[in-house]
Chain A
Amino acid sequence: MDFTPIIDGFGIVLQPTNLLYCLVGVVIGMLIGVLPGLGPAATIAILLPITYGIEPVSAIIMLAGIFYGAQYGGTITSVLLRLPGEASSVVTVFDGFAMAKQGRAGAALGIAAIGSFIGGTVSIIGLSVLAPVVAGYALDFGPPEYAALGLLGVLLVSTVGNGGKLKAIIAAAIGLLIATVGRDSFTGAERFTFGNLNLADGIDFVPIAMGLFGLGEILYNLEENHKKVHAPAKVTKVWPSRQDLSDSKGAIARGSGIGFGLGVLPGGGAVLSSLVAYAVEKRRAKQPERFGRGAIEGVAAPETANNAAATSSFIPLLTLGIPANATMALMFGALLIQGVQPGPQLVDTHPDIFWGVINSMYIGNILLLIMSIPMVGVFVRILKVRPAILAPITALITMLGVYTVNNSVFDIYLVIVFGVIGYLMKKFGFDPGPMVLAFVLGTLIESSARQSLLIFGGDPTGFLTRPISGTILAAIVAVAIFPLVRRAIRAKRGEPAGAPAPTEASPAPVPDRETTEAK
């Protein structure tokens, strides 16, 4: 491997102008990550016109900074306000918010920052070394593999969340149903659109997430207000204790690997990776019932994984010219505006951009770590504001944020509708998490499965004969059957003393009813 271009790349990043743009990018990123409703995709879209006048390398460095900076910032609202700004922060809510309620918000944010830094850095190193190699591997993932991955994701959905398992499945089923709204992309037929053109492309993720989590939570809190103090009094220790660090060590290591691996896949791995990382920790844990009640691994794993995935999602863009998600699509657009065509030749034709962007991430991650530890205290003060003041402001910013994504008033109505649904779900003890995640995976499963069948000429055994999809399907079967088998064996041997007899189907050792908050 020739290291000259990499070193030249550092030379480019360390120019004062580029350092400044990197700093501007990560600060904006963190800020919009904290402001619920305004995601990196919307921000980059808004800033796109500004990049006309900036040097290509500087522009991309800034935009990249916004993207991964937002991953840091999103954690803060997930933990403190139970408002995930991005789909990839949804699972952080479960334990992050629980920790905040126990007064351990500082430790949660601290470990998330550390995990994000490690995950991001591991991923950048991977990006530097593997970018050229991974190109070929990513392409082996065709529709059959995505269909199988999506199924695995839905299976995992039922193990996350802190409502009952049955409620999680109901919520997930509704999520899958909502995913079918819109024009059938195979036949052009309208499904559940009621002749409304706004629904022709289906429902966007943003209004659903903002409604269910954002507005729903605000409404619910208004009701709960007089009963209890919602916000933790203060964040005492931002730096996690030695115990916290040793608890999350493994989670961070595994999260880095999972995030890097899944983030590379075109189609967007940040959501899946945070979900998988969380589920893996929960499965490995000696006391899985701690999850959903403030387990620090439950924050460390998904936060590490989503940052690692955010970074590695640059691989398909920079090596193949394939945007892995909406934000990468905007990056693609930004490069095109600058007259740079991302593709397999980018590393040869524009090594300055290729290595400049990658190396800027090392610097950006260090800047973020330096900023987030002391600044956490600043952000935490938001929580001291009375909900009567904070709630309307958050609601307003949410609405504005949703509007700016597509300039669509219809999306505002959607947020209100899903806000009411989210409120009712919370009130009746349903967790909106599985619904949102199933919604995200629903479209992927449907279109990939149908594409696969077209490719196979209608023969479903094709899923089993392809090596990767076959392996994933085998894993699904194993994951689904294993707990049943274990239960059967246990039943044969007689219930071990101390363990309560599971009366309802509860394959995974999930704490069932007792965690249902509303009761």
Chain B
Amino acid sequence: MTNVRTRTRIASVAGAAALALALSACGGVKTASGGGGDASGGSDYPTKSIEMTVGASAGGSSDLISRAMSKGMGQSLGVAMPVVNKPGANGALVAKALQSAAPDGYSIAIQNASLFAITPLAVSESEAVKVDDFDIVYGVSRDDYVLATNPKTGWKSIADMKAAGKTIRYGTTGVGTGAQLNSALTFATAGIKATAVPFDGGAPNLTALLGAQVDVSTMQVGEAIENIRAGKLVPLAVFSADRVKFLPDVPTAKEQGFDVQVSQYRFITTPKGTPQAVKDKLVEAAKKTFATEEYKKFNEQNNLTPLEIPGSEVATKLKADLESNTAKLKEFGISLASNS
């Protein structure tokens, strides 16, 4: 019988925790409904814990970045900032949830540029997430893409790949990702015949390239760097304006004559209509986090380049990226969705 009691206790503790969660969630809504007419306008913010949602499962780079930021910002603001993973639909689930959350600064998220600037090109209008539906608080960091090949091919540059004169099979990390867009644009600009082979995320894509199942793959620098250093992958190009400092010997696509530079970047967002005073406090906390040695080290370890710019600049950049991506795809007659 002792065992039963233990189980019951576990269940009741868990139940109490769930109840507490539910209650705090209700509390959030209540605060919100009164929040609009709140005279303080967020000057006493924050008075309770802030929930940071991540549209990816635990362990990925989005999750790690959110956790690093929540740790620093929570300390700076003096409240807990729990990270809640809600993976699904490339982060669109979190976007929808955040959009309808109360704009009181107690629901925030770090979101990906690809969801705003690339995914809309691959999914239906109703699913596309729009920049104007959120308040963008501040930029966080940038993650660059690298085009790599298996050493067996013997290629060292995009030109080598073109000289091979065959239809290139390239792996991507999925439909509507920066990896796919970068590759598709490169092949179109270079006039190389190519077929995309989409994989479900970074790991299977990497495996396929290591096993030479595909000729080349585009992936984020952090995903490829260990294998590049070990000589198991040969980088052909990075897709950024300047060389990536973690791979200083790898020329950019632009240096090789192909102006393709799509990168992934992340930024802090809140629901539309969050009071300015609240956003200012979040910015201040983010800046304090950026300045810590611990956070700088985190960026280094994860091959992330800081992109610590104001939210308005991020919004402008996102819109410009979406426009240029749309225009380029049109120019070359590429469709991300139909897998051409």
Contact = CB atoms under 8 A, between A and B. Distances in A.
Interface string A429-468: 0000000000000000001000100110100000000000
B32 interface: no
B172 to A, nearest CB: 10
Nearest to A451: B197
Contact of A333 (B4, B7, B64): B64
Contact of A139 (B7, B8, B210): B210
B58 A333 contact: yes
A333 B59 contact: yes
Given A188-B176, A189-B337, A330 B59 contact: yes
B203 A396 contact: no
Contacts of B83: 49
A185 B198 contact: yes
Contact of B226 (A197, A198, A345): A345
Contacts of B338: 187
A403 to B, nearest CB: 8
Contact of A396 (B11, B89, B122, B337): B11
Given A329-B59, A333-B58, A197 B88 contact: yes
A102 interface: no
A408 interface: yes
B203 A266 contact: yes
A330 B18 CA distance: 24
Interface string B94-115: 0010000000000000000000
B60 interface: yes
A425 interface: no
A408 B86 contact: yes
B92 A200 contact: yes
A457 B88 contact: no
Interface stretch (A15-23, A244-252, A285-293, A318-326): A318-326
Interface core residue of B14, B59, B213 (most chain A CB under 10 Å): B59
B192 interface: no
A188 B172 CA distance: 14
A352 interface: no
A142 B4 contact: no
Contact of B7 (A187, A316, A382): A382
B232 interface: yes
A389 B197 contact: no
A509 B96 CA distance: 53
Q: Which of B87, B96, B207, B337 has the largest number of chain A CB atoms within 10 A?
A: B207
Contacts of B213: 142-143, 455
A408 B15 CA distance: 16
Interface string B202-242: 01101110111110000000000111011010000000000
A496 interface: no
A186 B198 contact: yes
A469 to B, nearest CB: 11
Given A185-B198, A329-B59, A337-B64, A139 B11 contact: no
Q: Which of B58, B67, B200, B227 has the most CB of A within 10 A?
A: B58
A393 B198 contact: no
B210 A320 contact: yes
A323 B11 CA distance: 32
A382 B227 contact: no
Contacts of B7: 382, 393
A398 B297 CA distance: 40
A400 B15 CA distance: 8
A407 B85 contact: yes
B169 A385 contact: no
A200 B92 CA distance: 9
Nearest to A339: B301
Contact of A140 (B122, B211, B336): B211
Contact of B96 (A140, A197, A454): A197
A345 B175 contact: no
Interface in B37-69: 57-60, 63-64, 67
Contacts of A190: 124
A344 B126 contact: no
Contacts of B174: 185
A476 B338 CA distance: 33
A143 B198 CA distance: 11
Interface string B10-21: 110011001000
A330 B174 CA distance: 20
- Pick the most buried of A141, A336, A345, A408: most chain B CB atoms within 10 A of its CB: A336
A224 interface: no
B214 A188 contact: no
Nearest to B8: A393
A321 B85 contact: no
A341 B206 CA distance: 15
A396 B11 CA distance: 8
Nearest to A143: B213
Given A187-B338, A187-B339, A341-B226, A201 B206 contact: no
A452 to B, nearest CB: 9
B84 interface: yes
Contacts of A341: 225-226, 301
Interface in A323-363: 323, 326, 329-330, 332-334, 336-337, 339, 341-345
Contacts of A396: 11, 14-15
A200 B88 contact: yes
B175 A185 contact: yes
A1 interface: no
B314 interface: no
Nearest to A338: B301
A45 B58 contact: yes
Given A197-B96, A389-B4, A406 B198 contact: no
Contacts of A494: none
A473 interface: no
A50 interface: no
A321 to B, nearest CB: 6
B127 interface: yes
Nearest to B195: A454
A101 B18 CA distance: 35
B85 to A, nearest CB: 6
Nearest 7 A-B pairs (CB), nearest first?
A333-B59, A343-B226, A139-B211, A142-B213, A200-B89, A45-B58, A344-B230
29 contacts: A45-B85, A48-B58, A49-B83, A142-B211, A185-B174, A185-B200, A186-B175, A188-B336, A200-B92, A201-B89, A316-B207, A330-B59, A333-B59, A333-B64, A336-B59, A336-B301, A339-B301, A341-B226, A343-B227, A344-B227, A344-B230, A389-B4, A393-B8, A393-B11, A397-B11, A403-B18, A406-B88, A451-B197, A455-B197
Interface of B: 1, 3-4, 7-8, 10-11, 14-15, 18, 57-60, 63-64, 67, 71, 83-89, 92-93, 96, 122-124, 126-127, 167, 169, 174-176, 195-200, 203-204, 206-208, 210-214, 225-227, 229-230, 232, 297, 301-302, 336-339
Given A45-B85, A201-B88, A378-B3, 4 more contacts: A48-B59, A201-B89, A342-B226, A344-B227
